[in-house]
Structure 1
Amino acid sequence: MLSACAVALRAGARRSVRRLPTRSRVAALPATLRRARPFSSSAARATDLSTRGMIVQTLSSVGSKREVQQYLSLFTSVSSQRFAVIKVGGAILTEYLDELCSSLAFLYTVGLYPVIVHGAGPQLNNLLEQAGVEPQFEEGIRVTDAKTLRVARDLFLQENLNLVNKLEEKGVHAQPLTTGMFRAEYLNKEKWGLVGKITGVNKQSIETAINNGYLPILTSMAETDDGQILNVNADVAAAELARALEPLKVVYLSEKGGLSDAAGQKISAINLDEEYDHLMSQSWVKYGTRLKIKEIKELLDTLPRATSVAIIHPGELQKELFTDSGAGTLIRRGSKLLSATSLSEFKDIDALKSVLIRDREGPDAMATVDKYLEFLGENSFKAYYDESMNALAVVLPASNGRQATLATLTITKSGWLTNVADNVFTALRKEHPQLVWTVKEDDENLAWFFDKADGSITRNGSVMFWYGIENGDEVVKLMKDFTQNGRGMLGDSNLESRLHRAANAASAANNSAKPVAQQARAYSTLARRPVLSAPAFGRTSGRTFVTQTNPNPPYGKKNASKDRPARIALIGARGFTGQELIRLLDSHPNMDLRHVSSRELAGTTLEGYNKRDVVYENLSPEDVREMEQRGDIDCWVMALPNGVCKPFVDAVYEGRQDSGHKSVIVDLSADYRFDNTWTYGLPELVPRANIAEATQIANPGCYATAAQLGIAPLVPFLGGMPHIFGVSGYSGAGTKPSPKNDVNLLTGNIIPYSLTGHIHEREVSAQLGAQVAFIPHVAVWFRGIHHTISIPLNKTMTSRDIRQIYQDRYAGEKLVKVVGEAPLVKNISGKHGVEIGGFEVDKAGKRVVVCATIDNLLKGAATQCLQNMNLALGYAEYEGIPVM
C-alpha cells in the first residue's frame, strides 16, 4: 500500500539522492518568471535591463523545470511573510552586493518576498578604528557604548539605504524598516553596555510592506520600551524574526557558502535529530562551526519541523532554494527512525491502525487493516517509522528464494517536508541489499520510485521495481514471476494468497460492490498523493523491460509489436500538418510510415522521410478496406479536411469486420470530436488510460487545445462565460488559397472570422462542460496561435492563487509550461507544447485574464497526434517528441 504525499512538497528531500534525467536548463527558468506587482516606469525599465542578467545567472544554477515548479509550489503554499528570513552579514554588503541583489530580484520576480535583516560588523570595525576607538568584545558580543552606538546607527542606516537603492535599480520595490521593528531589553548593561536582548518583533510592519509589494529590509537595531536604541547581533535578530514569523526557510548568507567538515569539504546536509550528538563529539567541530550548529539547533527546536536553515553564498541562493541538489549547507531537525519486528513493539496499536487506514477507502477499510495486522502477527517483518508516524515502511524478509519485499510505505505531507521519506529509504538500503516493491502504473509518484530503483517492469496495471539484483538469471526469474501474476507479485506467494483471502473476507463482510482486486489494493504497494504533485512519469506496460533511466515508459502493448515497428498509413499528407507528422515519424524509433496518400501528389516520391523510399499513392476507400482486412496497417492517420474522411473510416470498420484485425485510427479533422464512441485525444486533460485503450481517437483542434488547457484549471471557479480572443498564423487556414492565407491581404492587417458559433467554440464548450465564447482571427505570421482569455471568477482570488492552481494542475506535464508573463507567439513557434501565463486579476479579484500560445501545426495537430499514437500503440507517450 505504498501511499505517499506529493513529491512536489518534498522541500529538501535531496542530497546524495540520484535523480531522474532532467530537462534542459534553458527550459527551466521561463516556466516561473513572473512580475510581482506593477511598479513605476523607471523601475520597469530597470527590471527589463536586468532581466537578461538574471536569466543568465539563474540558468547556470537552477535545475530542471520540475524542481523549480516543486519549490515554487511549496514556497507559495504559505503566506508571503512565511517564505524566508534571510540574514545578510556586513561583508556580503561590501563584497557581494550585486550578487545579493540579483538573487533577491529573481525571488521578487517570481513573486516571493523574503524578509531581509542585515548587519554591518566589518564596516563598523573600520569606522571605529578610523575614529581611534578599538572595538571591544566580551564572549563574542560587541561592547557598545554611546559613541559606538552613534557610529553604528548611522552606518546601519546608510548600509540599509544602499541595499534598498541597489534593489530599486533592479526593479525591486524595497522598503527600509530601520526603527521600531525589534523591542528589546538590556542584555547586561554592566557587561555589554547598549546591547539588547530582543523581546518582541513588529510583525505588522513586515506584513504591511509585503502586502504592498515591497521587500522588507531590516537593520539589527532594537529599542527599549522607553525608546533607547540598542545594538543587536544580526544572527540573533534573524533568529528572533524566524521565531516570530515561522518561515519555511531561514537563510544565513556566508562568504564561505556553508559549513565544512574535517577535510575542508562543504557539508551538504545535516539532520540534527540523527546527527547532532555525533557531530558535537567530533574533534573538528569547534569554534565557530560548533557555535553555529548549536545555535541553529536551538533555533530549529523552537520552530515547526518543516522549517530548515541554509548557510549559503549569496550568488547561489537560487540553486539552494529551487533545486534538489542545493548549493550550501542545509540544516533541519529531521527525524529519528524507530524500528519494530513484532506488533508488541509498537507503543500504540490503535495509532498503527490509524496510520494504515489513513489512505484506505471504502466501508471495509478497517476490516482489511485488521486482516493485515493479523498476518503481520503471524509472519516475520521489519517496520521502520518515525516517532510521529509520518512515515511507515514494512518489509517482508527474503524467503523461499524470493527477495525482500517492501509491502507497505505510507508517507504524510509532513513526512515529505521533513525528509523522512528519503531517510526511510536510506535505512532500507542499509539493511536490505536487495528489495522488490510494486506500484500502480497510473500513480503519479512514479518518478520518486524510479529514482530509488535499479529496474522495473509493468504488467496489468502494476509496476514492479527492484534494486540490488545484479544476477541476470535472478532478474529474469523475477520478471517471469511478475508477468505470470495478473495483479503483480509482492514477493511472497503465501502472502499473496493470504491477502487475497483477506480482501475477499472483508468484501463479503461489508457486502461491498467493489471487485476483489480493488480490495486487495490495501496490500499492494500503491502510492497515492494529493493535488500538489510530482511529475506524472512512468506510464508503463508489460511490452518492454524498463529501467529507471526511462522516466516515461509506455502503456499497453495492444497494437505494438516486439519484432517490428508499428506500421503507419497517412491519408491526406499534402497539408502542413501532414508534413509535420512525416517529419516526426522520420525520427520515431518504433514507427514505420508505409503508405502516404495524396490525390494531387500521387506517383511522386515522398521527401523528408529517410527510413524507406515511399511514393505518394491515391488510396481509395476500397484500398483501405483491403489493407485493413489483410492486417497491413497498425495505425491510420486521417489528415483530411473536415467532412471528407468518413468513407475511409467506414472502410477501416469494414476491414475489421472481415478480418478481426483492429488497427488504431487517429482523425485530425473535426468529424468525430463530438462522437461519444470516439475517444477525445487531449492527454493532459483526458485520462491517458482511456487513450491507451482506444482504437479510434479524435485529435483535438489547435485553437481548442490551447483554449481548454488555458481554462480547465479554473472550471471549478467559473463565475460566468469565458471569452477567448484567438489569433492564428495563416498556416491554420491550410494550403488551399483563401483570404485567410493571402499574405498580401494579411500584411498590416488582422482578419476576424466566424465570430459566433465557430466549431472550436462548440468543441471547447463540450469538452469543458462550460459554455465559452470564441472569436477567431488570422494574422500575417505563418505558424502559432495566441489566446487572450477573459475568465469571470465565482470567488475573489489573487494572481498568485491562480498561478498556483495552474502550476499544480500541470506539474509534470512535459508539453505544458506555466510562465509568469503573457507568452509570445514567436517563442512557441516550432515548439511542441503550450505556454500559459499572464494571470492578471482585476481590482475586484473576480476576473482573470489568462494567455496561452501554441504552435498550431505541432501540439495543435501533429505532435498531439503522435502523443495519441504512442499511447494507443503502447509506446512511451513522448517518444519521438522533443519535449519543452
Structure 2
Amino acid sequence: MLSLRTAVRRASTKPLRSLSAPQTVSSVRLGSPVARHSLKASAAPLLQSRRYSRAADPQLSSTRSTVVQLLSNIGSKREVQQYLSHFTSVSSQQFAVIKVGGAIITEHLQTLSSALAFLNHVGLYPIVVHGAGPQLNRMLEEAGVEPEFHDGIRVTDGKTLSLARKLFLEENLKLVEELERMGVRARPLTAGVLFADYLDKEKYNLVGKINGVNKKPIESAIEAGCLPILTSMAETPDGQVLNVNADVAAGELARAVQPLKIVYLAEKGGLFNGDTGEKISAINLDEEYDHLMNQWWVRHGTRLKIKEMKELLGDLPRSSSVAIIHPADLQKELFTDSGAGTLIRRGNKVHTKTSLSEFEDLEKLKDVLVRDREGLDARAVVDRYVEGLKEANFKAYFDDPMEALAVVLPPQKGSSLAHLATLTITKSGWLTSVADNVFTNIRKDFPKLVWTVKEDDENLTWFFDKADGSLSREGEVLFWYGIESGDEVKELVLEFNKHGRQMFGDINLESRLLRTAQAASHIGKGFGTSGASVEQRRAFSSSSNALRAARSARPMVPVNVRTYATTNPNPPLGEKNMSNNRPSKVALIGARGYTGQALINLLNAHPHMDLRHVSSRELAGKKLQGYDKRQITYENLSPEDVQRMAENGDVDCWVMALPNGICKPFVDAVDKVSQKDNVIVDLSADYRFDSNWTYGLPELVSRSTIAQATRISNPGCYATAAQIGIAPLVPYLGGQPPSSVSPDTLAPAPSPARRTILTNHIHEKEISSQLGTDVAFIPHVAVWFQGIHHSISIPLKQEMTSRDIRNIFHDRYAGERLVQVVGEAPLVKNIAGRHGVDVGGFAVHTSGKRVVVCATIDNLLKGAATQCLQNMNLALGYSEYEGIPLE
C-alpha cells in the first residue's frame, strides 16, 4: 500500500535556493557551512601556491561533476552539456560580463551569491560589475544632499563622489565576503581597470566617459581562481576618480573582453510587452528591431536599453548575446533552451530560394546537406537529393553562414499540407537559436506542415514544442501543425501508420522527394471540415484527442523554446483541435460557493460558453456579479425546473456545483429526458465511483474518452494533485508504505471536524481507485486561503536517483500545459491563483528506494473550476484550454 502524507508549509515560506545532494566531500550542499568548510579545506594547499589551477584540484573537479548533474534538474543533460561546452570553448574571461544593479545587492544578495557560486563550481568565471544607485540615493538623502540629474545622468560633485566612493567599496566588499562565505574565491577590483575622460565637466562634473579597459587585473584574478568583482568607478590618466553608469561600464567591459554573454541582473527579470503584459522571451535584432522600435510601448528607458543593446552587440561577435534576468533564474537562463528572462541577440537574417539556379554555389549547398550524414555513401545520397530538387517545387530557408538550412515542399494539388523535407542545423545554430528563426519564417509561409523525426533525435523536444500534435511509430515520430479538421488528422494518421516516413519526408534525407510529393497529393484528397452537430463534434474530438493520447502514451520531454518578441507565428490556442465554433448554453446549479464563482469568472472570458442559468437557493432573486455577457438573476431551480429546461433544449451543458449527496435528483431529472444530448459535469464526489460516468482528469484519463462522454465526474482537488504526483511512479512502486499528510487550505479558520478525518477520507478511496494501488491519505488544515501542498512519500521497488525520477515526470507530462515539473519543492504561494499543478522536490532517500514528491494545486482552479472547464471544452468540441489563462 502506498501512503500519502502532505506536510503543512506556510504560504510565506521562501524557496530554498541552495542545492541538496548526498553528503560526500564532492557533493555536499553548495552554500552550506559544511560545503564551504570542505571546499576551503580541500583547496587550501592549492590556494597557497602562487598560481591556482582549478583543473588540478580533484575535489573541485568532482564537485563540478556533481553540479552538472544537479544542473540537469533545471533542464536536460543535453542542454547543460551543450551550453557548458559552448561557454568553455573560449577563454575564462570571455564567458560572461554580469552587471548587478544596486537593488539586487540590497534585496537579493544571497540569491545573487548562490547563482555566482553555482557558475564558479562548474568552472565558469563571470566578470561582475555592480552599481549602487538606490543605496546612493538613500545615503545622499540622509546626508542632506539633493540629487541632480541631467538626461538621466547623475550630476556628481565632490561630496557626492566621496559618498559614492565609500558606498561602492562597502557594497563591493559585501558581495565579495558573501561569496567567500559560500566557499567561492572572489577578488575586489575597485581601481585600475576602467579609465575615462570627463563626459562633460561643466554639465555633469565628476562623471566619466570610459575610454579604456585594463584587462590584466581581471585576467590575473581569474588565473588565481577568483571571481573578479568590479565597481563602476573609473579613473582619469592623472588619477581622478570618476563616476560612471554601471550599464555603461558593463558595455565597455564587454567590448574589451568580447564575451559570449552579457547579463543584466534586474528585479523585474526581463523586458515586458506593453500590449500583452507578458515577459518578452527573446528579441532577434536583425529580424525585429525596426518593428519593435515602432511599438507604442517601446519608449523612455525601454527604448534606450534596446538601442544600447543593439549598438553593443554590433561591436561583438555574432555569437554574443545579452540577457536581462532575475538572479534567481540565472542558471535556467544560461543552461536551458527556454531560458527565463529576455534574451537579446543579433541573430541572422533568413534568406529563401525557390530553385537551385538561385544558389550561387551548389557545392556549398551539398556540403551543408552532407554534414548530418554518416556512411560512405553520404555524398552520393546528397548528390541524388540535389538532383531531385532540380525538378521539384520547393522553398529553401537558410541564414548567411548556413548554420541552419530547411527545405519545404509546398502542398501538392488537392492537398493543403506542406512537408518539411530537410532541416540541418549546426551545434552553433542550436545554441544561437537560428533554428527558431528559420522555423518562424516557415510558419509564416506555410500554415500547415508535417514532418517526421527519428525517435532518438537529441533535439526531439524542440520539434515537439513546434508542433500542434505528434504520433510515434516504429522509431519515428510524425509531427504536424495547423491541422484543424478531424478528417485531415485521421487521414494523416492512417497514411503514417501505413507507410511511415517514406510518405511524409524526413529531415535527415532518408525519403525520396518523389514519394513525398505523391504522399502530399494522396493525403489531400477528400479533406473537409466537420460540422457542428454533437455527434460530429465528438467524432472530431475522438480523432484529435486520440492523437494527444497517443502522444501521452509515448511521452516526450517538453522544452519551451524561446519565441520572438513581436511576432506570433502560432495560431491562437482556441483554433487548435477545435471542431465547434457555436456557443454552448450552460447552466450552473449551486453557484454560491467559491468554486462556483471561480467557474463564472472563467466562463465570462470564454468565447464560446454562454452562461444562461445560475441556481442558488440563498441568492435567488439577486443579480449575478462578475458576468458581463448578459444580465443574469440567480434562480432557485428545482429538479422539476431542470427537467422542463432539458425537455425544451434550453441547456447544452449542466454543471453541478453542489455539496456531496445532493445532486442526484437534478441528474435524474436530466436523464429522464435524454441520456445523450446534454453534458453534465459534476463537481461533487457523488459519481466518481460510478462506472457509467467518465472520470474527468485529462492529464491521466484518455482525452478521447472525455471528449465522447456526456456524464463527467470532476476529480477533487486533493485527488487531482495526489494523482499527478503519484501516477508516473506507479510502475515502480514497492517496499513498505511510508506515512504522509496533506493540508487543506480553503478555510481561514479551520474547524476541528475537518482535522479529525485521519483515515478513510473520501479522497483516499478516490486516489486509490483511480491509480489502482492502495494509498493512505491524511488531510490537515493550514491557515492560508487558496492552495494545497502535498508531500508524497513513495516507496520504490528498485534503486533510483533524483534525476531518474525527474526524467520520468518530464516524460510523463510532456506537452501538458497545466502540469509544471520543477526542480525544487513547489510552494503554495506560487500556485495560488494559477490554473495548473506544480510537481517537484524529487528528494530520494540515501537507500535509493524511497522518494518524496511534492505537488501544489489551487483548490478552486485546477482543483475544481479550471478542471471543470477542461472537461466542458473536450465534451463540447472546443479546444481543451479555451478560456483558461496559460502562463
- Could you tell me the TM-score, scaled by structure 2's length? 0.52
Matched residue SS, 1:174: coil
Inter-partner Cα distance in structure 1 for 2:371 and 2:98: 51
Partner Cα distance (2:391, 2:96) in 1: 64
The aligned counterpart of 1:458 is 484
Q: How does 1:112-127 map to 2 (within 5 A)?
A: 113-117=121-125
Q: Tell me the alpha carbon deviations over residues 218-261 of structure 1, each in whole angstroms, 9 at most, x when there is no partner.
A: 94269xxxxxxxxxx9xxxxxxxxxxxxxxxxxxx974446999
Is the counterpart of residue 553 in structure 1 residue 575 in structure 2?
Answer: yes
Asked if 2 retains the 8 angstrom alpha-carbon contact of 1:445 and 1:528, the reply is: no
1:182-207 deviations in Å (ceiling 9; x for gaps): xxxxxxxxxxxxxxxxxxxxxxxxxx
Shift of 1:423: 6.8
1:776 to partner: Cα distance? 1.6
In the alignment, structure 2 segments of 5+ residues that lack a partner are 1-12, 21-28, 37-70, 129-170, 188-219, 229-249, 264-281, 287-311, 376-384, 453-460, 470-480, 491-513, 526-541
Match of 2:653 in 1: 635
Q: CA deviation at 1:612?
A: 3.2
Segment of structure 1 superposing worse, 670-679 or 75-84: 75-84
For residues 713 and 351 of structure 2, the distance between their equivalents in structure 1, rounded to whole angstroms, comes to 51
What is aligned with 1:758? 761
Moved more, 573-582 or 750-759: 750-759
Q: Is the 8 A contact 1:406 1:436 kept in 2?
A: no
Aligned pair in 2 of structure 1 residues 718, 172: CA closer, same or farther (>3 Å)?
A: farther
Q: Is 2:799 the partner of 1:833?
A: no
Separation (CA, whole Å) in 2 of partners of 1:352 and 1:668? 53
Instruction: Compute the displacement of 1:694 (Å).
Output: 2.8
Aligned match of 1:174: 183
Answer yes or no: is the 8 Å Cα contact 1:383–1:393 preserved in 2: yes
Deviation at 1:105, TM superposition (A): 3.6
SS in 1 for 2:884: coil
Distance 2:832 2:441 in 1: 48
Give the paired residue count: 599
Partner of residue 590 from structure 2, selected from 551, 572, 583: 572
The match for 1:532 is 557
Deviation at 1:459, TM superposition (A): 0.9
Using a 3 Å threshold, how does the CA distance of structure 1 residues 652 and 714 change in structure 2: closer, same or farther? same
Query: Which of 846, 851, 861 is equivalent to 1:843?
Result: 846
Report matched runs for 1:179-578 at 5 Å: 219-220=222-223, 255-257=252-254, 323=339, 327=343, 380-381=393-394, 394-396=407-409, 405-406=418-419, 408=421, 421-422=435-436, 425=439, 434-439=445-450, 448=466, 456=482, 458-460=484-486, 462=488, 496-498=520-522, 531-534=556-559, 548=570, 550-551=572-573, 553-558=575-580, 561=582, 565-578=583-596
8 Å contact kept, 2:836–2:857: yes
* Preserved contact between residue 320 and residue 326 of structure 1 (Cα < 8 Å): no
2:780 aligns with 777
Quote the Cα distance in structure 1 between the aligned partners of 2:739 and 2:488: 42
Alignment match of 1:682 (pick from 697, 716, 720): 697
User: Kindly tell me: are residues 444 and 630 of structure 1, through their superposed partners in 2, closer, same or farther at Cα, counting changes over 3 Å?
Assistant: farther
Contact 1:723 1:790 in 2 (8 A): yes
**Given the alignment of the two structures, is residue 668 of structure 1 paired with residue 651 of structure 2, yes or no?**
no
2:803 matches 1:788: no
Q: CA deviation at 1:638?
A: 1.2
- Given that 1:834 and 1:854 are in contact with CA atoms closer than 8 Å, whether structure 2 keeps it comes out as yes
Counterpart position of 1:225: none
Structure 2 equivalent of residue 709 of structure 1: 724
Q: What's the offset of the Cα at 1:533? A: 1.9
Match of 1:87 in 2: 92
| CA distance in 1: counterparts of 2:256 and 2:487, whole angstroms | 47
Measure the CA separation in 2 of the matches of 1:78 and 1:770: 38
Give the secondary structure class of the aligned counterpart of 2:419.
strand
2:303 counterpart residue number: none
**Structure 2 CA distance for aligned equivalents of residues 171 and 587 of structure 1:** 52
Distance across 1 between alignment mates of 2:127 and 2:599: 60
CA distance in structure 1 between the aligned counterparts of 2:764 and 2:667, rounded to whole angstroms: 25
Q: Which amino acid aligns with 1:706?
A: A
Q: Distance in 2 between matches of 1:601 and 1:312?
A: 53
**Corresponding residue for residue 18 of structure 2:** 35
Distance 2:607 2:441 in 1: 40
Deviates most, 567-576 or 314-323: 314-323
Show CA shifts across 1:542-563 (max 9, x none).
Answer: xxxx9835245353335x51xx
Query: What's the CA shift for 1:400?
Result: 6.8
Q: Which runs of 5+ in 1 are unaligned?
A: 1-29, 46-67, 121-161, 179-216, 223-232, 234-252, 272-287, 297-307, 356-371, 465-489, 502-516, 539-545, 732-740
C-alpha distance in structure 2 between counterparts of 1:335 and 1:172, whole Å: 52
In 2, Cα distance between equivalents of 1:827 and 1:706 = 15
Matches within 5 A, 1:88-167: 88=93, 105=113, 107=115, 113-117=121-125, 166=175
Tell which deviates more after alignment, 874-883 or 546-555: 546-555
Equivalences for residues 639-658 of structure 1 within 5 A: 639-656=657-674
Q: Contact 1:406/1:435 (CA < 8 Å) preserved in 2? A: no
User: How far is 1:375 from its partner?
Assistant: 10
Give distance in 2, aligned partners of 1:385 and 1:652. Answer: 59
TM-score normalised by L of structure 1: 0.52
Render the CA deviation track for 1:46-67: whole Å, top value 9, x for unaligned: xxxxxxxxxxxxxxxxxxxxxx
Deviations 1:592-614 (A, max 9, x none): 22122334544554444444343
- Give the secondary structure class of the aligned counterpart of 1:707: helix
Looking at structure 1, the residues matched to 552 and 407 of structure 2 have their Cα atoms a distance apart, in angstroms, of 14
Work out the CA distance in 2 between the residues paired with 1:769 and 1:631: 39
Equivalent residues of 2:35, 2:183 under 8 A apart:
no
Shift of 1:566: 1.9
- Distance in 2, Cα, partners of 1:79 & 1:396: 31
Q: How far did 1:662 drift?
A: 1.3
Identity %: 45
Q: 1:69-104 deviations in whole A, cap 9, x for unaligned? A: 997336765499869548237997999999899886
Shift of 1:668: 0.7
Q: Which residue of 2 aligns with 1:148?
A: none
**For residues 119 and 660 of structure 2, what CA distance do their matches in structure 1 show?**
45
Aligned AA (1:727): P
Contact 1:536–1:813 (CA<8 Å) still a contact in 2? no
Task: Give 1:594's aligned residue.
Answer: 612
Question: Residue 873 of structure 2 aligns to a residue in which SS?
Answer: helix
What amino acid maps onto 2:634 in structure 1? Answer: Y
* Aligned-pair CA distance for 1:666: 0.7
Deviations 1:399-441 (A, max 9, x none): 7799994353567997856857447548869xxx944533599
Give the RMSD, CA atoms, in angstroms: 6.5
In structure 1, how many angstroms separate the alpha carbons of the residues matched to 2:221 and 2:682?
62
Which region of structure 1 is more displaced relative to structure 2, 722-731 or 83-92?
A: 83-92
2:284 & 2:561 partners in 1: Cα distance?
Answer: 28
Contact 1:382 1:394 (C-alpha < 8 Å) held by counterparts:
yes
Match of 2:741 among 706, 725, 745: 725
Q: In structure 1, what is the Cα distance between the partners aligned to 2:111 and 2:351? A: 31
- Determine the C-alpha separation between the residues in 2 that align with 1:413 and 1:691: 43
Whether 1:624 and 2:635 are equivalent positions in the alignment is: no
Secondary structure of the corresponding residue to residue 675 of structure 1: coil
AA of the residue aligned to 2:408:
V
Aligned to 2:92, the other structure's residue is in SS state strand
Matched residues in 2 for 1:799 and 1:456: separation?
37
